[in-house]
Amino acid sequence: MVTGKLDSERRARVVIVGGGFGGIAAAKRLSKTDVDVVLIDRRNYHLFQPLLYQVATAALDPSDIAAPIRSIFRKQKNLRSILGEVESVDLEGKRLMVKGDPLRYDYLVLAAGATHSYFGKDEWAKHAPGLKTLDDATEIRRRFLLAFEAAEVECDPAAREALLTFVVVGGGPTGCEMAGAMAEVARSIPDDFREVDTKTARVILIQSGDRVLKSFPKESSDAAYDQLKELGVEMKLGPRVTEVCADGVVCGEEFIAANNVLWAAGVKASPLGESLGEGVELDRSGRVVVEPDLSVAGYPKVFVIGDQAAAKDAKSGEPVPGVAQGAIQGGDYVGNIIRRELEDETWVERGEFSYFDKGNLATIGRNKAVADIRGFKMKGFLAWFIWAAVHIMFLVNFRSKVSVALSWVWTYIFGCRGARLITGKSEYKVKKTHGDD
């Protein structure tokens, strides 16, 4: 399948699975090395996942936060990009299977990421979509916008209330960002509707722990809580969600009638880890437990990075968090190891991976955000401004930067969102409607 000219030259081949932050970073480190790099992804684009919730809430367009992988590597001639899904890895045979075809590797970097986890209740998925892919985002956008459309023609007050109740399960950064953005949208479009007062929409954030953003310092959690409250988000801290169905969720003792539930509670690693065989240890979330150099025990030329890896910081012994900077640093580290081992035969010392925490940012709404940068905590406009600047800075290509900046300035000034399109099926269920006349 992926043979061709390259194979006859008998150069070493590095296969990277996944074009997320980790895979892209690893591949870039190999740009000047005499090696064949093959990057495989199920999608033809790199996704800037931290802004995915903005597509789901109609502030940005899909192409604002996604860049074709081929464009990113246009000039890196030693890299070939393959659109395809890796089915399994054969560690002994040093090859992986892509659509039934074997693909040989000398070095392997697994960076296949994570997906939502419903903690064994996979039947909840259809009622409570999660937010990991562009298709997830447009689907959530579709459901979110359709709810207002359906409410506009719904005459039964209870049914209308359920349509205008949005439940977000999970109070991590994605959950907080989604809840904040949904509340903002609902408050910004009352003039679009005649029958429904969109300001009466309820956004409920459920978090089983005692605070939101538990990966942040307590102070930031409290600030996020206050800012969400200011936007009108109702927060339920403590009880767990025990049931999700088409009509709503059960949270502790309470049933909340809601037609829209968003899942932001749990993630599990790509199932690809399971195909590595019994000798390879996985943690409870399916992540591969890696050595201090991010390699798989017994297979020094196989690395796992990003959300797919259960890695520890060499200095603190703390787990490396599943965020973009963890994946990028892992990709850089692994890419450098491979480059040196291929370029310099005398070089042997790999050292251990240490994670440098540049800080954490979460945004809640316009002028509302929290930041924790190396112990320095900020909130409100300053945190929001830093958040916006950092995210624009990190967007992969320049065109996206201009477009995103423009969209944000527009939304900031006029408070309205440009991408409020319902694509795909535009059917909605209305439980009970009155006849006309």
- Decide: 152 and 202 in contact? Cβ < 8 Å: no
How many CB atoms within 10 Å of residue 412? Answer: 12
Q: Taking a C-beta distance cutoff of 8 angstroms, is the pair 121, 35 a contact?
A: no
Residue 145 or 176 having the CB closest to a second copy? 145
Instruction: Indicate which single residue of 10, 77, 126, 374 sits in contact with a second copy (rule: CB under 8 A).
Output: 77
The token pair that represents 116 in the structure block? 């939502």
Distances (CA, A) of 212 to 47, 119, 171, 178: 26, 20, 5, 13
Residue 31 touches a second copy, criterion: CB under 8 A: no
Task: Please tell me the distance from the alpha carbon of residue 225 to that of residue 291, in angstroms, as a whole number.
Answer: 38
- 188, 325, 367, 403: which one binds a second copy (CB under 8 A): 403
Residues 94, 350, 282: CA angle, nearest 5 degrees: 55
Q: Which two tokens stand for residue 43?
A: 């999608």
Q: Which stretch binds a second copy (CB under 8 A): 192-200, 207-215, 259-267, 373-381?
A: 192-200
Which segment (159-167, 174-182, 223-231, 411-419) binds a second copy by CB under 8 A? 411-419
Supply the DSSP symbol for 240.
P
Q: Is 177 a catalytic residue?
A: yes
Which region, judged by CB under 8 A, interacts with a second copy, from 41-49, 235-243, 261-269, 280-288? Answer: 41-49
In the list 34, 135, 243, 352, the residue contacting a second copy (rule: CB under 8 A) is: 135
The amino acid sitting at 363 is T
Q: Does 392 engage in binding with a second copy (CB under 8 A)?
A: no
User: From the CB of 17, what's the least distance to a second copy, in Å?
Assistant: 15
In sequence order, the β-bridge partners of residue 81 are 39
Q: Which of 232, 237, 267, 235 is nearest to 252 (CA)?
A: 237
Give least dist CB 145 to a second copy, A: 7
| Annotated active-site residue in 85, 123, 154, 177 | 177
- Taking CB under 8 A as the criterion, the residue among 11, 12, 62, 431 binding a second copy is 62
* Minimum distance of a second copy from residue 282's CB (angstroms): 27
Residue 43 is a binding residue for a second copy (CB under 8 A): yes
Per CB under 8 A, the list member of 7, 197, 219, 230 interacting with a second copy is 7
Q: Minimum Å distance from CB 50 to a second copy?
A: 18
- Contact yes or no for 280/288 (Cβ under 8 A): yes
181, with CB counted inside 10 A (0-12, 13-18, 19+), is: buried
Is 186 or 290 the residue whose CB approaches a second copy more closely? 186
Cβ–Cβ under 8 Å, residues 365 and 231: yes
The residue among 66 and 288 lying less far from a second copy, judged by its C-beta, is: 66
Alpha helices in 189-279 (DSSP H): 218-230
Range 80-119, binding a second copy (CB under 8 A)? 80, 82-84, 95, 99, 101-104
Given a contact cutoff of 8 angstroms between Cβ atoms, the answer to whether 306 and 21 are in contact is yes
Contact by Cβ (8 Å): 179, 205: yes
Structural Rg of the chain based on CA atoms = 23
Could you tell me which of 187, 182, 180, 185 has the C-alpha nearest to residue 213?
A: 180
Mask 314-353, x = binds a second copy (CB under 8 A)?
----------------------------------------
Instruction: Select from 39-47, 170-178, 343-351, 388-396 the region that touches a second copy (CB under 8 A).
Output: 39-47
Cβ contacts of 285 within 8 Å, gap of 6 or more: 114, 117, 266, 267, 268, 269, 310
Q: Which of 2, 30, 39, 249 binds a second copy (CB under 8 A)?
A: 2
Q: Which residues are catalytic?
A: 177
Q: Which residues bind a second copy (CB under 8 A)?
A: 1-5, 7, 42-45, 61-64, 66, 68, 70-71, 74-75, 77, 80, 82-84, 95, 99, 101-104, 134-135, 138, 145-146, 149, 152-153, 155, 189, 191-195, 399-400, 402-403, 406, 410, 416, 418-424, 426, 428, 430, 433-437
